[in-house]
Amino acid sequence: MITFAKSNDRFGIINNCVDPQYRPLLNEYLEMSKTAHTPHTLSCALAMHEEFLKSGDMRNTKWENYKR
C-alpha cells in the first residue's frame, strides 16, 4: 500500500535531506501545492529542470513564471 507523507513530514524531509541551497526553493514549491489533492503542481513540477536547461542553475527558478 502506498501512503503519502503529511505536509509537515514533507517539510521535515526537505529540512533534513536536501542541500541547504535548495531548501527555500523546495519549501516554496510545497507551499504552492499543499492544498492540492495530490501534493504537486503540474505546471511547476518540471520548472527546476527547465530552469537548469535555460540558465544552468535550478536555484534561478521563479515560480511565478510557471504557476497557472
Domain ranges of the chain: 7-65
Looking at residue 7, its pLDDT comes to 52
CA distances from residue 39 to 30, 35, 57, 63 in whole angstroms, order as listed: 7, 8, 24, 16
Residue 60 has pLDDT above 90, yes or no: yes
SS3 state at 5: coil
Cβ neighbours of 64 (radius 10 Å): 5
Q: 50-59: per-residue pLDDT in tens?
A: 999 999 999 9
Q: 1-40: per-residue pLDDT in tens?
A: 444 455 557 668 888 889 999 999 988 888 877 666 666 7
This model's pTM is above 0.75: no
CA distances from residue 24 to 1, 53, 55, 64 in whole angstroms, order as listed: 31, 20, 19, 15
Sign of the four-CA dihedral 4, 36, 21, 56: positive
